[in-house]
Every structure is written in structure tokens, then in C-alpha cells.
Amino acid sequence: MPKRHRGELDGGSTTELQQQRLYLVFDDWDCGYSIRNVKPPLPCKSGDRASESERFEKRLPNPFWRYPADRECPQYFTSAFGTKIMGMHHNDSGIVLMIDVRTRSVVLGPRTNYPAFPIYFPVGVDKLFALDSACLELCRLPLVRPDSDSDSGSSSTDETDSDSESDSYGKWLWRQLQVPTFRTRDATSYAVHSESDGQSQSILVSVKGEETVATFTFDMGKFVWECLGEWTLPFTGRGHFDRKLKALVGLSKDPEAFEYLYACNMPSIGDKHCPAPVWKCSKEKVLSEHLADRHVSASLIYMENRCEYCIVECVWVEEDNADQVKIKGDKADQVLLEKSECVEGVPQRGRYMYRLMTFSLKYDKMDDLRVKCGGRVRYYEVPNTVSAESIREDPVAFWL
């Protein structure tokens, strides 16, 4: 557990503590991971896109927290239950530590569900869905028993509700839901959508397999899966519902539209076998076009309270007179660059860096999707103790 530093709890202002920040997770610690918080770059004052020749390098801040867990598995991290970061890694105790970034405290969370290839869907401040190999599970924030009930010793009628099998007062439990009819490893894109009334919520998952190419929806109220149609969402990985555009926004990793964004109209959830929704591809690229940068991986973060996005891209920056590098990797959109001199698989000549850029999206008069107000590009050097396996994965980042 990290030491308490002056100004973190008793010296900082309330406004500073409550300000949302971007949290980056690295497996650069002998016993696990470090969590560091950074401020995303501000948009350019002129509103124009920043020039790729402008490179603002900043030193990565000291760790906000150190999280003990098995290294080389960054995909087991998720944010959930408001302002908490949790790692669902396997461990002897089975207990999950949740780091509350707002209060800077540790909460003992639910026992790990021992994930294999998880996709996490945090919903609101009280629910976490976990889609994994042949299963879908739900974990709710434990109920708090009213003082009047505990004093009288009587049980609340809420315990007989339909959710009583998954929730009990003061206890964390995972509830098994309807098993999906597709292989989780075939999932290519996914998102959470809430209707305008704020009541109807659903999970969307597109899959491309040897036998199945389709998009499925899971109704969070009815707890059932349905097939929407034999089509897939255009982006890759996680999509974000943009209330201003009324569309799902995601990063494309398809070779034909690599480096661009997609905005996809919401499909008609209530209609079975609905037609593929209309989508737009952005006119501008959002990944680095700098000649010295070689793309490795990227994550798109939605800063909903600001109606803006932040692209967190891992790039390999070659130093002057560096040896020729070799490119290898098992994913079309992500490569691992290796050199002759390495420490734990990470090159020592040349640097891996995280490139951060903020921007917003809009439709122009021609109804084209445009990247608006591209922010100043900021670079942070990735610690050289980060494992090669972690570099292969998309950056783990949360806006909390």
C-alpha cells in the first residue's frame, strides 16, 4: 500500500480531489502494476488540429498507487462502481482490491470470478457485467441495511425480491445470467447503450466466427440475449455512446479504415433481425502521422462530462542512429518492435511512448463526421520495466 504523501488527503483542495483525471495502468513494478494519473492535453485555442510536428514530451508522474497482481495481464483491469479501479487477477485469497481514486482508499470487493478472456461492462455506479468464455455474470454493489431494520432485528421485504439470489446486505456476490449463444473470443466490437428514458439499458456485442457473423443484444431488464441481425458494428473493440451525436463511436482497426473513427447510429433494439444501422467514417485520422512514430496499439477514452475524447496511443519512437528494428506480432493492428538489446523484452535504444490527444466530434453541413478541436499532442515515456506482453495489449486507461 502506498505511503500517504503530504497534500494527498489533508493538504489538497476539495476541488482538486474531485476533478476527473485520466488514469494509466502499467505493469512496471516487480510485484504488479502502478497506477498514474495525468491531465489530458487541452484543446488548441484556435480550434484547429494540432500540427504533428509539435511534440510536447512530459515526464510521467510518480505512481498514484501500486497494485499487487500477476504481471503481463493488463486486460483483467476494469473501472466500476463509480470511481473505483479493480483488478480481477487470480490470487490465493480470491479477494479483489478496489482502489477508489476519489477518496484514495482501498475497498475489499467481490471475490474474483477467475476470468479467461473477459469483457467488462460497468453500468452506472452499482453494476458490473462480465462477459467471458461461455458465461455472463453480474455483480451488484451490496445493499446497506437501514439502521431501523438492524435495530428491530426484522428482515427487509427487499430480500425476497428477484435480485435476492445475487445480492444480500453487505455481501459481494456474482450472479450467473443467461449463457450467450456465441463464443466470446469471436467478439469484435461491443458497447453499452441506455435509452433516453434512462431506464432501458442493453449490451451490444458483434461477433465474427467461422459459423457466426452477427450482432447480439442483452436486455439488462429482462436478462435475455437476442440476435439483432447478421451484420456487425463497424468499429473494433469498445464503443462509446455519444449522446450529442446519438451514435456509438469507436476506433477502426480494419486495414481499410485504419486510424479513423466510426460513428454508428443506434440499431432498433426492440426489433428482431433489424437491418444494419447507418454509420459514418471520420474524414480525419486520429492516430499519429509523425514520421518518427510507429504504431503499436491504441485505446479510445470517452470523457463524457466534457463531451470529448482522448486517444491513448502507444508508439515506438526511433532514436537517431538506432539499429534497424524488426516488426512482429500476432494482430494486424498491433506490432511489437524488438531490438538486439532488451531488458525483459523492452528495447533500450529507442523508446516506447504514450501519445495523448484530445478532440471532439461533430457532423458538418454535408453530414460528414469531422474531428473537431484536435488538442495539443502530449507524449509520456513508457517505463522501460513494462513487460513486452503488456506492450502488445491496448493501453489500459480510465477517465474517473
Model confidence over 313-371: pLDDT tens digits?
999 998 763 333 333 333 434 444 433 345 455 544 689 999 999 999 999 999 999 99
What is the phi/psi pair of residue 297, to 5°?
-165, 170
Distance from chain centroid for Cα 235: 15
* C-alpha span between 375 and 236 (Å, rounded): 23
* C-alpha span between 30 and 51 (Å, rounded): 38
pTM of the model: 0.83
Nine-digit cell string for 301: 477514452
* C-alpha span between 301 and 310 (Å, rounded): 5
pLDDT at 73: 94
Q: What is the pLDDT of residues 378-388, one digit of tens each?
A: 999 999 999 99
User: For the purposes of burial, counting CB atoms within 10 Å of the CB of 343, is it exposed (0-12), middle (13-18) or buried (19 or more)?
Assistant: exposed
Distances (CA, A) of 297 to 79, 166, 290, 294: 20, 37, 15, 10
CA dihedral sign, ordered 222, 227, 229, 232: positive
pLDDT at 93: 85
Instruction: Reply yes or no on whether the pLDDT at 56 is more than 50.
Output: yes
Instruction: Reply yes or no on whether the pLDDT at 163 is more than 70.
Output: no
HSE (side-chain half, CA atoms, 13 Å) at 116: 8
Distances (CA, A) of 350 to 138, 148, 382: 43, 64, 11
Mean pLDDT, range 271-289, rounded to an integer: 89
**Position of cell 505511503?**
3
Residue 148 has a CB neighbour count (10 Å cut-off) of: 9
pLDDT at 223: 94
**Position of cell 516506447?**
352
> Binning pLDDT at 50, 70 and 90, where does residue 269 land?
confident
Q: Compare 133 and 367 and report the one with higher pLDDT.
A: 367
Cross-strand bridge partners of residue 202: 193, 219
Kindly give the pairing relationship between strand 237-238 and strand 187-194: parallel
Q: Which residues contact 58 (CB under 8 A, 6 or more apart)?
A: 38, 378, 379, 380
Instruction: Reply yes or no on whether the pLDDT at 51 is more than 90.
Output: no
User: Cβ(310)–Cβ(286) under 8 Å?
Assistant: no
Q: Compare 178 and 6 and report the one with higher pLDDT.
A: 178
Residue 8 has a CB neighbour count (10 Å cut-off) of: 13
* C-alpha span between 133 and 162 (Å, rounded): 25
Distances (CA, A) of 165 to 147, 161, 224: 22, 8, 17
> Binning pLDDT at 50, 70 and 90, where does residue 128 land?
very high
pLDDT at 5: 39
> Binning pLDDT at 50, 70 and 90, where does residue 8 land?
very low
* C-alpha span between 112 and 291 (Å, rounded): 43
